[in-house]
Amino acid sequence: MRIEVGGPGIKRIFLITVGLLILSLVLPVAVSDRIQRFYLIAQACLSGGALILAVSMALKRKQGIRHITTDLSTNVTLCVVAGVGVQALYTGLPLIPLVFFVGFPYTVFARRRFLFWIPAAVLSVAAAGRYLFLNDPELILWTAVFLLYSAVLGDRMYRDGRRIEHLGSMVKRINSDAREMMGRIGEEGFSESMDRIRGKEAAIAIAIDEDDFLQRLLRWGCRVFNARTGILLIPDEDEPEFFRMRAAVHRGVVILEGLVPANKGFIHITREREGILCVSDASSARKSLSFYPDGTKVGSFLVKIVKDPKWGMDADDGTGSEKIRCVLYFDSETVNTMSLDDITAKRLDEFGSLVLKAMDTAGHLQKLTTEMSSRDAISRYAQGLTQSLKPEIIAGMALDAVMDAVPKCDGAVVMLFDEGLSVVDSKGDLVKKVGSERILRNEPSHTGLLLRRFAELESGEGIGDARGAEIVINGLQAKRSPFFRKGEQLGDIISFAAIPCFMGEGDTTLKAAIAVVSSQENAFGKEELEELRTIAGMMAPALDNAIQHKQVDELSRTDGLTGLLNHRTFQIVLDGKLNHLSRGNFRSVAAIMVDADRFKDVNDTYGHPVGDEVLVELARRLKMGIRKNDAVARYGGEEFAVILDNAGEKEASEIAEKMRHSIRSRPFATTAGKIQVTASFGFSVFTGTDGCVRKELLEQADQALYQAKTGGRDRVVSYMDIETDATEIEPVAGDAITAIQEGRR
C-alpha cells in the first residue's frame, strides 16, 4: 500500500503512534527489568516515529524548516515525548522535568496562549499514572506548581494579547484610511493650487509631504512641552548602533547633522530608565548632545523612546517589544523648565503614538505610490511597444520601464540576442563601463551562464523550464564572478538579476535579456522580480515582431542570393548621395561598375549552382573592400555597382584596385573545387561643380567598364582616362549601351 506523506494514511498512523505514547504515560510498567527495558525501547521507537511523522506532515504543508516549531502536531508530539522523558528520568533526576516544563510553554507556546493545556495535560496524565499504578505522589506536587505557573503566564499573555489586538485594529484602520485616501487621490487629485493633476502625481506629492507633516507634529510638541528644540531620531539603516535625524524644529540654535550613538549618551540612559528620561539640570549632560555645536546652552531636556507596538507579532523578530521605532527629544534653554510627572508621561505616550501613526501612514502611502508608479510605468511601456518596429527603440523603452518600475534598481542594461548578447543601452553609474562588446556563451560570467542555460534548453538537454534559466543574486558572492564579462570594472554591485526575454509556450528561443544591478543587499524580492518578468514578457513578442519586420524589410531592399542591395534600392541610395552632393554636404560621389570576367564559362562548365557560389563569394569580397558609409549592390546578373561618397579620382582608383586584387589573389572555394576568378572595374567621379544626374554618372562608369573589358579584362579604368585619350570616345546611349553590354562578355 502506498502512503502519501501528509495524506489520510500518514495522519492515521501519526494519531495511532501518539495515542500509544499517551497510553504508555497512563499505564507505566513497574515489573521485571527485562520487561521494563522492552517497555522503554518501545517508547523510544514510538517517540522517534511520532517526531518523524509530525515533521513530515509539517513539511508537506509547505511550512518550511523555520516554522516546524510552531506546527501544532509537532508541538503535541514534543510534549508527549517530554512526558515520556519525565516518566523515565523523574525518579533519578527530578530537576530535569521541572526545568523543561517551566521553560517549554514560554519558548514554544509564547504566541499561542490557548495551547497551554497541551503540556499541562501531558504532565497531569504522567503524574496521575505514576500515582495510580506506581503509588508515587511526588510528581503531583510538580504538576500543581506547573499549573499555577501556566495560569499566571497565561493571564499575562491574555492581557498582552488584548493590547496587540487593539494595536492591530489601529493599524488596520490606518491602512484602511490610507487606501481610502489613495482612492480619492486616484479619482480627484488636486495640487495645493487646486489645479487638476493626475492621481499618481498627487499621491507622490502627499508621500513627499511626510517631512512637512512630521515638522508640524514637532512644532506642536514643542508648544505642548514648552520646548525650544524638538528632534525626531530614527534607527540608521546602514549603522544599526546609531540613530539619525529624521526631522527637527529649533528656535535660535543651530542643529548639526550626524549620527547619535545608541549604546551611550542620553539614548542609552533612557533605555535603562524604561524608555523615558527627564533631566531638569542638563549642565553636566551637555556633552552627550552631539547634534549641538560647542557653546550651545541646554538647561533641561526630555527624551521618550517609542518602541514598536507590534509586540510578538513577527515570529522572526527576536527583539519583540524592545524594537525601537524612533526617539523623541525636547529641550529648553532654562534649568528646571521640564519635569516628569504622570501628565507629562501620558502626553509623551500619546505624542509618540501620534508620530508612529504618521510614519506608518506615510509608509503605506509610499508603498501604494510605488505600486501605482510601477503599474503606470508598465502600462506606458505596453502602449509604447506598439508604436515602434525598431529593436533598439524597444530595448530602450524596456530600460526606461525597468528604471521606473523597480525603485531599488541603481543601474540596468538591456541586451539583444544575436549569436550572443549585445549591450544596447544602459543607465546608472554602476554599469556605465559595461561596454558594447558582444557577450558570447563561453564568457565566464553570469550572463554567459544565462546563455549556456538557454542553449541547453534549445537543444533539449536542459532540465526545467526557461524561467529556471534566470539568474538572481541578492548578496555578496562568496567567490567573486564577473556579471557581464571577464575583467569588468564596474561599480560596487551587490545584487544582480538577469531576466531572459523569450516567447514562451514551448518556444525557448532567447530574444533578449534584461540585466539589473543594485548596490543594495536583497534588492530584488518577489515583487521586483515579477515586475521584471512582466517587462521581459511584454518585450518578447514586440521584439519578435520587430525582427520579422526588419527581415522582411531587408528582403525587400536586398538581393536574395548575395545579401547586397538590390537594383531598386541602389538607385534610391545613389539619388540620396547625389542630393547631398548638390547641397554641398559631399565634395564628390563616385560610381564603380564591376563585372565578373568570363562568368558564362563558369556556368557552362560547372553549372548554375556553382555559379551562384562564385557570385556570393564575389559579393563578400567586394563588401570587404568598401568603407563604412559606402554602398555595394548587385546590379544584375554577374554585374555589381559600388557608390563612394567623398572619394576623388585617386581614392576611387585605390578602392577599386583593392577590390580587384582581393578577387584575383585567391581562388574561389566551391563545391566543384577551387576556381580562379577575375573581374573588370570601371568608375566615374562627380564633383560638386558637375551636374548631379544619376543616369549620366552610371553611363560614364559603364563606358569605363566596357573599356576595361575590351582592353584585356581584370583591370580598373577611369572615365577620365577615356576622355583624355587622343580619340575621344563619344557618350554611348540607347541601343549602343545594349550592344556594349552584350559584347563585353
Q: Which pLDDT value is given to residue 258?
A: 83
The answer to whether 426 and 447 are in contact (CB under 8 A) is: no
The C-alpha cell that represents 150 in the structure block: 501556566
Cα of 102 vs its chain's centroid, Å: 47
pLDDT tens-digit readout, 474-520: 887 777 788 888 888 787 888 888 888 887 655 667 788 888 888 88
H-helix or E-strand spanning residue 378: helix 342-385
Helix 138-187 × helix 199-208 angle, to 10°? 130
CB 229 within 8 A of CB 255: yes
**Average pLDDT for 58-82:** 65
* Residues contacting residue 38 through CB under 8 Å, at least 6 positions apart: none
Could you tell me the pLDDT band of residue 178, with boundaries at 50, 70 and 90? low
Q: What is the pLDDT of residues 14-44, one digit of tens each?
A: 788 877 777 776 666 655 566 667 777 777 7
Instruction: State the DSSP string of 709-728.
Output: HHTTSS-EEEHHHHHTSSSP
Per-residue cell: 615: 557570385
Q: Which candidate in 638, 654, 723, 742 is catalytic?
A: 638
Which cell numbers in the block locate residue 420?
550572443
- For residue 565, what is the DSSP state? B
List CB contacts of 383: < 8 A, sequence separation 6 or more: none
pLDDT in tens, 300-322: 999 999 987 765 444 344 444 46
The phi, psi pair for 626, rounded to 5°, reads -95, 170
- Contacts of 188-195 with C-beta under 8 Å, sequence gap 24+, read none
Residue 463 CB coordination number (10 Å)? 8
Give residue 210's pLDDT. 65
Active site residue 728: no
Angle at which helices 8-26 and 72-89 pack, to 10 degrees? Answer: 30
Which pLDDT belongs to residue 27? 67
Q: What cell does 398 get?
A: 524596456
Find where cell 548602533 sits.
Answer: 241
Strand pairing partners for 231?
A: 248, 329
Q: Do domains 204-369 and 386-550 have the same CATH topology?
A: yes
Region 690-719: what's the mean pLDDT?
Answer: 88
User: Distance between CA atoms of 662 and 660, rounded to whole angstroms?
Assistant: 5
The pLDDT assigned to 741 comes to 47
Phi, psi (rounded to 5 degrees) for 719: -65, -30
Q: Bigger pLDDT: 460 or 517?
A: 517
CA separation for the pair 598, 539 (Å, rounded) = 51
Q: What is the mean pLDDT of the chain?
A: 76
pLDDT tens per residue, range 137-161: 777 776 776 677 667 766 766 666 6
Q: Which alpha helices (DSSP H) does 388-525 contain, by range?
A: 391-405, 446-459
Contact 588, 687 (CB under 8 A): yes
pLDDT of residue 507: 60
Classify strands 716-718 and 679-687 as parallel, antiparallel or unpaired.
Answer: parallel
Q: What DSSP state is assigned to residue 157?
A: H
Q: How far apart are CA 589 and CA 691, in angstroms?
A: 12
Q: Give the mean model confidence (pLDDT) for residues 693-718.
A: 91
- Interval 672-686: pLDDT, tens: 999 999 999 999 999
- In three-state secondary structure terms, 628 is coil
Lowest mean pLDDT among 154-163, 354-363, 370-379: 370-379
CA distance 366 to 207: 6
Per-residue pLDDT band at 346 (split at 50, 70, 90):
confident
Contact between residue 550 and residue 666 where contact means Cβ atoms under 8 Å apart = no
The confidence score (pLDDT) of residue 49 equals: 81
Tell me what pLDDT residue 99 has.
60
Would you call 232 helix, strand, or coil by DSSP? strand
pLDDT reading at 744 higher than 50: no
- Rounded CA-CA distance 183/302 in Å is 40
Please state which of the ranges 9-23, 119-133, 282-296, 362-376 shows the lowest mean pLDDT. 362-376
How is 507-534 classified by DSSP, letter by letter?
EEEEEEEEEEEESSTT---HHHHHHHHH
Q: Are strands 300-307 and 324-332 parallel, antiparallel or unpaired?
A: antiparallel
Q: Determine if residue 62 is left, alpha or beta; phi over 0 gives left, psi from -120 to 50 gives alpha, anything else beta.
A: left
CATH class name, domain 386-550:
alpha beta
Residue 329 pairs with which residues in a beta bridge?
231, 303
pLDDT digits (tens, 9 = 90+) for 216-241: 788 888 888 889 999 999 988 778 78
Q: Is the dihedral of CA 479, 481, 487, 489 positive or negative?
A: negative
Looking at residue 698, what is its pLDDT?
92
Domain 204-369 superfamily per CATH: GAF domain (3.30.450.40)
Statement: residue 163 has pLDDT above 90: no
Dump pLDDT digits (tens) for 646-662. 888 999 999 999 999 99
b/e for 152-191, b at 16 or more Cβ within 10 A? ebbeebeeebeebeebeeebeebeeebeebbeebeeebee
In order of 132, 552, 563, 564, the CA distances from 555 in angstroms are: 97, 5, 8, 10
Domain ranges for the chain: 8-161, 204-369, 386-550, 558-743
CB atoms within 10 A of CB 7: 12
Q: What is the C-alpha to C-alpha distance for residues 11 and 202, in angstroms, rounded to an integer?
A: 55
Domain 558-743 grouped into CATH 3.30.70.270: yes
Name which residue leads in pLDDT, 592 or 30.
592
